[in-house]
Structure 1
Amino acid sequence: MDVNAKFRDPREHINEEPRNDLGDLLVGFFGMTGFMTVVFFGMVIIKFIMSA
């Protein structure tokens, strides 16, 4: 009995894109830190302007 079954090895991961996980983590972390720093100083400046 000859079965012509075609299968793919699940270890191939053919649908995955090659990614740099550490780079993505660092970009996200420092990007969010930079954004929150800008927001913080923006709020400090707004508070200073409103209290003057």
Structure 2
Amino acid sequence: MDVNAHARDPRDHVNEEPRNDLGDLMNGFFGMTAFMTIVFFGMVIIKFVFSE
């Protein structure tokens, strides 16, 4: 039996884009921290504006 199969090395990532995983992680972490800090201070300001 002759099978016409072409095996590929799974380590050949022909469509993979180069990525910086640590940089993506740091950007996400600090971006979310900055966003939540802004939300926190915004809520504190709103609390003091609407408090009587």
TM-score (norm 2): 0.82
Letter matched to residue 46 of structure 1? I
**Where has structure 1 moved over 4 Å in runs of 4 or more?**
2-5
Q: What is the Cα-based RMSD across aligned positions, in Å?
A: 1.8
TM-score (norm 1): 0.82
1:10 deviates by 1.2
Gaps of 5+ in 2: none
1:13 deviates by 1.1
Q: How many residues align?
A: 52
1:21-32 correspondence runs (5 A): 21-32=21-32
Q: Which has the higher helix share?
A: 1
1:23 deviates by 0.1
Partner of 1:15: helix, strand, or coil?
coil
